[in-house]
Amino acid sequence: MKRGGLFARARVNRLPRAWRRPLAVAGTAVAVAWIAVALAAPVLAPHDPLAQELPRLAPPGPGHWLGTDQLGRDILSRIMYGARVSIPLTLLLVALSVLVGGLLGACAGYFGRWVDETIMRLADLVFAFPTVILAMVVAAALGASLGNAVLAVLVVAWPAYARVTRGLVLGVREREFVLSGRLLGFSAWRSLRVDVLPNITGPILVLATLDIGTALLLLSGLSFLGLGAKPPSPEWGGMVAAGVDVFDSWWVATFPGLAILTVVLAFNFLGDTLRDALDPRTARAIKERAL
Partner 1 sequence: MSRTSVPSNAGADGGGTAPPSRGRTASAGRGAGRGRRPRPLVRFLIRRIVTALLLAVGITLVTFVLTNLVPGDPVAANLGQRALGDPAIVAQWRADHGLDRPLPQQYLMHLEGLLHGDLGTSQQSHRPVLDDLAGAVPATLELAGAAILVSLVLGVGFGVVAALRRDRLSDHVLRVLSLVGISVPTFWLALVAFYVFFFRLQITPGSGRIDPGMTPPPQVTGLYTVDALLSGQWDVFSSAVGHLAAPALVLALYTIGLLTRFTRSAVLEVLGQDYVRAARAKGLPGRVVLFRYVLRPALVPIVTVAGLAFGSLLSGTVLVEAVFAWPGVGQYAYRSATTLDLPAVMGVGLVVGVVYLVINLVVDVLYGVIDPRVRVS
| Residues in touch with partner 1 (CB under 8 A) | 23, 116-117, 120-121, 124-125, 128-134, 136-144, 213, 217, 220-221, 224-227, 237, 240-241, 243-244, 247-248, 250, 253-254, 256-257, 260-261, 264-265, 268-269, 272, 289
In the complex with partner 1, the residue whose CB is nearer, 38 or 240, is 240
Hey, which bits of 45-174 come out as E strands?
none
Peptide bond connecting 159 to the previous residue in cis, omega within 30 degrees of 0: no
226 dihedral zone (left: phi>0; alpha: psi -120 to 50; beta): left
Among 16, 38, 5, 29, which residue's Cα sits nearest to residue 235? 38
How far is the C-alpha of 145 from the C-alpha of 150, rounded, in Å?
A: 9
In the complex with partner 1, the residue whose CB is nearer, 47 or 209, is 209
Strand partners, 61: 64
Query: From the CB of 136, what's the least distance to partner 1, in Å?
Result: 5
Tell me the CA end-to-end span of the chain in Å, nearest whole number: 28
In the complex with partner 1, the residue whose CB is nearer, 36 or 244, is 244
Among 138, 290, 149, which residue's Cα sits nearest to residue 215? 149
In the complex with partner 1, the residue whose CB is nearer, 21 or 182, is 21
Query: From the CB of 195, what's the least distance to partner 1, in Å?
Result: 23
What ranges in 113-145 are assigned the alpha helix state H?
A: 113-127, 131-142
Query: From the CB of 187, what's the least distance to partner 1, in Å?
Result: 26
In the complex with partner 1, the residue whose CB is nearer, 138 or 204, is 138
Query: From the CB of 266, what's the least distance to partner 1, in Å?
Result: 9
